[in-house]
Structure 1
Amino acid sequence: MVERPTTEEYAAFYEGYIQLVPEGNITERLELQANIVQTLLSSMTEEQANYRYAEGKWSVKEVIGHLLDNERIMSSRLLRIARGDKANHPGYDQDVLMQSQPFNAYTVVDLNEEYAVTRRSTILMLHHLTPEAWLCRGIVSDNPASARSIAYILVGHELHHLSVLRDRYSLDVKL
């Protein structure tokens, strides 16, 4: 089992996400989240998925799309760090990525499929990391980052957004 990262393995602004992650197997948590998101999307109509709880807020589709963008970026960072890449991996601006509103054009079925494939790819990668690779360290946005901290951030970030979908969008999200 991959142990929780220490505070020296990630930037302080990620602490909130990491603290959201319950004890247990991190890859099993990713699998559980995949089931939660896929079940949620499978039960939604297009109208429900296009819902915004307030003016200027993301639609449900855009929240899930943001999770997809984040997963791809974080998985790439994790892979590179786990393989010994010492480059400074740049940050990203979620608002810039969402400016063209690409996810509003997705159907719920397409979004669900893309989420499933993206998450499965991440899980398969993690299943093949060695114990040493989980502990590898690199740099993200000029801050320290270990492979395992990125996995925890990925889970915590998604937990945060699933809570938002439950609390602000009034969706039946079982965390």
Structure 2
Amino acid sequence: MVLNMNEAFEILERTPKTLEALLSGLSEGWVTSNEGEGTWNPSEVIGHLIDGEKYNWIPRLKIMLTETEEKNFPVFDRFSHLKDYACLSIEDKLDEFSSLRKENIKKLKELIVEERQFELTGVHPEYGEVEARQLIATWAVHDLTHLAQITRVLAKRYTKEVGPWKGYLGILNK
């Protein structure tokens, strides 16, 4: 399967609305629960997504698209959101994420104008050379990964409460 930009946009554009529908207005217990020490709660995941919008996807794509020999990506701090957004409410985080995502989709549509650009590369600090098509595909799958993570965390709040039905609820058995 070859990356279809329009299909990637379908996911990238829907993620903010999906998260808002899922998390907006929930009580504190829902948005601050996690799966144990060292795991993120839904509110923290939104902070991580904000950081991705600011420091990961578009900045790395711009490096790939520049006509320069320096193609090394700066290291992305996957944990900075834990301190940077701790004081923000879930509503504020959702609004910030939605706004940043709209801007970044607009930028993405402006930056990628030719099929050949999908083959341009950058150097990831851990994976080495990666293509623009891989970065964009990863962006969409990253969204889906965190949507799955959030729904799993929410579901696990009621692991004991579902009693014997747990056996039928695959999300609780992973």
| Pairwise TM-score range, normalised by the shorter structure | 0.7 to 0.9
Alpha carbons of 1:134 and 1:38: their partners in 2 closer, same or farther (altered >3 Å)? farther
Any stretches of 5+ residues in structure 2 without a counterpart? 157-174
Alpha carbons of 1:139 and 1:112: their partners in 2 closer, same or farther (altered >3 Å)? same
- Per the TM alignment, residue 43 of structure 1 is displaced from its structure 2 partner at its CA by 3.8
Q: Which runs of 4+ in 1 moved over 3 A?
A: 83-86
> What letter is aligned with 2:121?
R
Match of 1:121 among 90, 103, 126: 103
> What letter is aligned with 1:66?
H
- Per the TM alignment, residue 98 of structure 1 is displaced from its structure 2 partner at its CA by 4.2
Match of 1:159 among 140, 144, 156: 144
> What letter is aligned with 1:65?
G
The structure with the largest alpha-carbon Rg is 2
Q: Would you say 1:150 and 2:132 are equivalent positions? A: no
Percent identity among equivalent residues?
Answer: 23
Paired residues in the alignment total 151
- Per the TM alignment, residue 63 of structure 1 is displaced from its structure 2 partner at its CA by 1.0
Q: Which residue of 2 aligns with 1:133?
A: 117
Counterpart Cα distance in 1 of 2:90 and 2:130: 34
Alignment TM-score, normalising by the size of structure 2: 0.73
Alpha carbons of 1:34 and 1:85: their partners in 2 closer, same or farther (altered >3 Å)? farther
CA contact (8 A) 1:84 1:137 kept: no
CA contact (8 A) 1:50 1:104 kept: no
Counterpart Cα distance in 2 of 1:3 and 1:124: 22
> What letter is aligned with 2:57?
M
- Per the TM alignment, residue 91 of structure 1 is displaced from its structure 2 partner at its CA by 2.7
Q: Secondary structure at the match of 2:19?
A: helix
Alpha carbons of 1:59 and 1:90: their partners in 2 closer, same or farther (altered >3 Å)? same
CA contact (8 A) 2:122 2:130 kept: yes
Match of 1:52 among 28, 34, 40: 34
Counterpart Cα distance in 1 of 2:139 and 2:120: 17
- Per the TM alignment, residue 147 of structure 1 is displaced from its structure 2 partner at its CA by 1.8
- RMSD of equivalent CA atoms: 2.6
CA contact (8 A) 1:29 1:155 kept: yes
CA contact (8 A) 2:16 2:94 kept: no
CA contact (8 A) 1:71 1:154 kept: no
Alignment TM-score, normalising by the size of structure 1: 0.73
